Amino acid sequence: MTGLPALSYNTMVVAVGVASVGCAAGVIGSLCVLRRRALVGDAAAHATLVGVALAFLATGRRDLPVLLAGGFASAVAALGVLVILRRCTRTRDDAATAIVLGVSFGLGITLISGITARGIPGGAGLEQFLLGHTAALTAGDAVLLTLVSAAVVLIVMLTLKEATLVAFDAPFAAATGWPVTLIDYALVTLVAVMVVVGLPAAGAVLVTALVVIPPVAARQWTDRVGTMLVLSGMIGVVSAVIGVSISAVVPRLATGPLVVLAAAMIFGGSFLAAPGRGWWSRSWRQRAVERAWTQGRLLAAAAEASAVRGGCFTRLEVADLVPGDGLRAARQFGAAWQTLVREGAIAAAPAAAEARLACVGAWRLTPMGQAAAAERARRVRCWKAVLESAPQDAKEFLTIDLPAPETLLGNERAAEVA
Partner 1 sequence: MSVLSLLTAGEGMHAWAIATAATVAAGCALVGTLLVVRRMSLLGDAISHALLPGIVVAVLAGGRPGGVLVLAGAVAAAMLTVWLTQLFRSAGGLAEDAGAGVAFTTLFALGVVLVTAVAARVDLDPGCVLHGVLELVPFDTIPIAGFEVPRAFLTAAVVLAILVAGAIATWRWQVFTAFDSGAAQAAGVPVAAVTTGLLAATALATVAGFEAVGAILVVAMLVVPAATAELLTRRLHRMVAVAILLGVGASVVGYLAAWWCNTSAAGMIAVVLGIEYAVCVLLSPGDGLIARLFSQAWFRWRVACEDQLAACWRAEEAAAHTGMAPVLRRSMPGGSLACGWLATTGCLTRSRRGWMLTPRGREQANMVVRSHRLWEAWLGRHADVPLDHLHPPAEWIEHHLGTEVRRRIEAEVGLQASDPHGRSIPPEP
- What does the binding site for partner 1 look like in residue numbers (CB under 8 A)? 33, 36, 38-39, 42, 46, 85, 88-92, 94-99, 101-114, 117-118, 127, 130-131, 205-206, 208-209, 212-213, 216, 219-220, 250, 252-254, 256-258, 260-261, 264, 267, 271, 277, 279, 282
Which residue, 287 or 384, is less far from partner 1 as judged by CB?
287
Per residue, what are the HEC states of the chain?
Answer: CCCCCCCCHHHHHHHHHHHHHHHHHHHHHHHHHHCCCCCHHHHHHHHHHHHHHHHHHHHCCCCHHHHHHHHHHHHHHHHHHHHHHHHHCCCCHHHHHHHHHHHHHHHHHHHHHHHHHCCCCCCHHHHHHHHCCHHHCCHHHHHHHHHHHHHHHHHHHHCHHHHHHHHHCHHHHHHCCCCHHHHHHHHHHHHHHHHHHHHHHHHHHHHHHHHHHHHHHHHCCCCCHHHHHHHHHHHHHHHHHHHHHHHHHCCCCCHHHHHHHHHHHHHHHHHHHCCCCCHHHHHHHHHHHHHHHHHHHHHHHHHHHHHHCCCCEEHHHHHHHCCCCHHHHHHHHHHHHHHHHHHCCEEECCHHHHHHHCCCCEEEECHHHHHHHHHHHHHHHHHHHHHHHCHHHHHHHHHHCCCCHHHHHCHHHHHHHC
Nearer to partner 1, 129 or 383 (CB): 129
The nearer residue to partner 1, 266 or 349, going by C-beta atoms, is 266
Closest approach of partner 1 to the CB of residue 274, in Å: 9
Give me the least distance between CB of 330 and partner 1, in Å please. 27
Q: Given the complex with partner 1, which of 101 and 414 has the nearer CB atom?
A: 101
Min CB(156)–partner 1 separation in Å? 19
> In terms of CB distance, is 119 or 326 closer to partner 1?
119
* Whole-angstrom distance, CA of residue 11 vs CA of residue 190: 27
Shortest Å, Cβ 248 to partner 1? 15
Query: Please, what is the minimum distance in Å from the beta carbon of residue 337 to partner 1?
Result: 31
By C-beta, is 48 or 208 nearer to partner 1?
Answer: 208
Q: How far is the CB of 226 from partner 1 (least distance, A)?
A: 20
* Distance separating alpha carbons of residues 341 and 221, to the nearest angstrom: 38
Question: Would you say 66 or 103 has its CB closer to partner 1?
Answer: 103
Instruction: Give me the least distance between CB of 261 and partner 1, in Å please.
Output: 5
Instruction: State which residue, 52 or 254, has the beta carbon closest to partner 1.
Output: 254
Nearest approach in angstroms of CB 132 to partner 1 is 9
